[in-house]
Amino acid sequence: MVRVISQETYDEVVHENMEQFSMTPEEAIEDAVKQLEAQGIDLSNIIKDLILNDDNELITSCLNQINIAIEDQNYGNIHHTLDKLRIQLDKDIARRVYAGRNGAYNSLIKLMKACLNNGTVIKAALKTITSLMTGNPDLLNDEGIALQIQILDNYPDIPTLQCLLRWIRECCIKHENNRQNIFNADIFNKLKKILIRDNASGPELRDACAVIRALVLDDDIRHEYGKAHEHASIIAKGALNVLTGLMPRYKKDKGVVGDLMITLAALIVRNEFCQEVEDAGGLKFVIDVMIDYPDSEKLNWQALKLLKALAGNDNVKSHIVTSGCGPLIVSVISRLKESECVVTAGLACISALTLRCPSNAGVFYDCGAPLIIIDAMKAYSKSVNVLKQAAWAIRNMSVRNKAECSEFITHGVEDVLTSALQQHGSKLESDIKAALRDLGLKVELKEEWTGKGTSLNNGIN
């Protein structure tokens, strides 16, 4: 279990070092950090250099000024105070936690509710509360969600709406309860109004897509079961045609196109959704993106993620390969081999497209995938993600293509796989051994469970 201490306890240790051992402030801080971390104490929520700059006093002062402004209903210069507070909050999570413990969230909510007609204050407060809750989403409550919906419904100013969307997104990251509560507040229908608006700007669409992706995350370790799949299904039913329809309209805007592709990839969690995106021209558009932007690392990564998601439907999977994506994928991995993200996504794509599909595997053999896969494993020998995806791709390409899989062996795959197994052990053991087995190479398999050899009693006398 992680051990934590309060800011006050940490400060006492630092002051003790200075008073009893005549250390300078810098020495006292360094020694305190070493002492406490050696005891297994997590200091991520502690402001370690507080004694050097008195940031706590600045944060407290800003919060006091906000509270006085609310009480006096005088908001003339409050946006400057908010900017000062935000600069402190952006420094680290410790300052955000400190501010939260000292009532920053409630003060900011009260301020926004009191200034709904003051765009300057609302915008500054939204930026500040986003900084406060970055990596610190537990602060959100029902009052905050109601305010989010109120602003979303009533504020016409696009820059302010973008600030709001960024706050909503931050509240959803690594917090399942927030996601469910925000989703249950009918957030999707509010977002859809942005997506279908004729005059929606590119940046606005990107922020709306970012919220949609946040709503379908499954990243809160405190919850064994979330509603990511359920949220994705509901959103997909109402938005797939809208998102796919936006792609041709914004085809010259790389940022919007990329966000649309990665959002679609997050939503197509069911077989029929994959088919719907293809029927709407999604596959052709992805291919055009990969052809039109051959050197864009981010766009190609996003395109590969969408292709892999589309491969969840067997019919679409076949169309992806027959449409000429095999050589495109291999070319992207080779051309952008310096990017670990692209290489990982490309190998995952090959793995998905060749799963239980020997004809697709044959296409990848024909366009030189074995050598590209092995070269990727050599280049990223320390990356568990790359090696895992490569092992899956090798396995899927080999298990039903015994005649062709000798090409992997010719290029020295056995040594590469064995080396990966030795280097990473249990992290990759099952994946590497499965690849070796399906290549027909020597592998020592563990028998995970064996019976004791005793006869079973079926309970019948």
242-259 pLDDT, tens digit per residue, is 999 999 999 899 999 999
Question: For position 461, what pLDDT does the model report?
Answer: 45
Q: Assess whether 409 and 383 both reside in one domain.
A: yes
- Which of 119, 136, 153 delimits the end of a domain? 136
Please state, in angstroms and rounded to a whole number, the distance separating the CA atoms of residues 347 and 353: 10
Please state, in angstroms and rounded to a whole number, the distance separating the CA atoms of residues 47 and 101: 13
Q: How many CB atoms lie within 10 A of CB 190?
A: 17
Please state, in angstroms and rounded to a whole number, the distance separating the CA atoms of residues 57 and 88: 11
Q: 89 or 456, which is more confident?
A: 89
277: in domain: no
Q: 36 or 338, which is more confident?
A: 338
| CATH number reported for the structural domain that contains residue 406 in this entry | 1.25.10.10
Please state, in angstroms and rounded to a whole number, the distance separating the CA atoms of residues 429 and 347: 18
Q: How many CB atoms lie within 10 A of CB 51?
A: 18
Average pLDDT over residues 232-238: 96
Considering the entire predicted model, what is its pTM? 0.86
Q: Assess whether 337 and 432 both reside in one domain.
A: yes
Q: Assess whether 1 and 101 both reside in one domain.
A: no
Q: Assess whether 410 and 389 both reside in one domain.
A: yes
Q: 48 or 310, which is more confident?
A: 310
Q: Assess whether 45 and 114 both reside in one domain.
A: no
424-460 pLDDT, tens digit per residue, is 999 999 999 999 999 999 877 666 666 665 555 555 4
Q: How many domains does the chain have?
A: 3
Q: Assess whether 17 and 96 both reside in one domain.
A: no
- Which of 77, 110, 136 delimits the end of a domain? 136
111: in domain: yes
Q: Assess whether 329 and 426 both reside in one domain.
A: yes
Q: Assess whether 329 and 438 both reside in one domain.
A: yes
398: in domain: yes
431: in domain: yes
Q: Assess whether 115 and 23 both reside in one domain.
A: no
Question: For position 156, what pLDDT does the model report?
Answer: 82
Question: Looking at the predicted structure, is the pLDDT value of residue 108 above 70?
Answer: yes
226: in domain: no
Q: Which residues contact 152 (CB under 8 A, 6 or more apart)?
A: 161, 164, 187, 190
Q: Assess whether 365 and 434 both reside in one domain.
A: yes
- Which of 136, 159, 192 delimits the end of a domain? 136
- Apex 336 CA angle, 331 and 338, nearest 5: 140
> Contact at 8 Å (CB) between 7 and 47?
yes
Residue 3: φ, ψ to 5°: -100, 135
Please state, in angstroms and rounded to a whole number, the distance separating the CA atoms of residues 80 and 73: 16
DSSP 8-state symbol, 139: G
Range of the domain at 124: 54-136
Tokens 């095999």 belong to 326
Q: Which residues contact 347 (CB under 8 A, 6 or more apart)?
A: 333, 373, 376, 386, 389, 390, 392, 393
3-state secondary structure string across 72-127: HCCCCCHHHHHHHHHHHHCCCHHHHHHHHHCCHHHHHHHHHHHCCCCHHHHHHHHH
173: in domain: no
DSSP 8-state symbol, 427: G
432: in domain: yes
Helix residue spans in 250-357 (DSSP H) = 254-267, 271-279, 282-292, 297-310, 314-322, 325-335, 340-354
Question: Looking at the predicted structure, is the pLDDT value of residue 52 above 60?
Answer: no
Q: Assess whether 111 and 64 both reside in one domain.
A: yes
26: in domain: yes
Q: Assess whether 36 and 60 both reside in one domain.
A: no
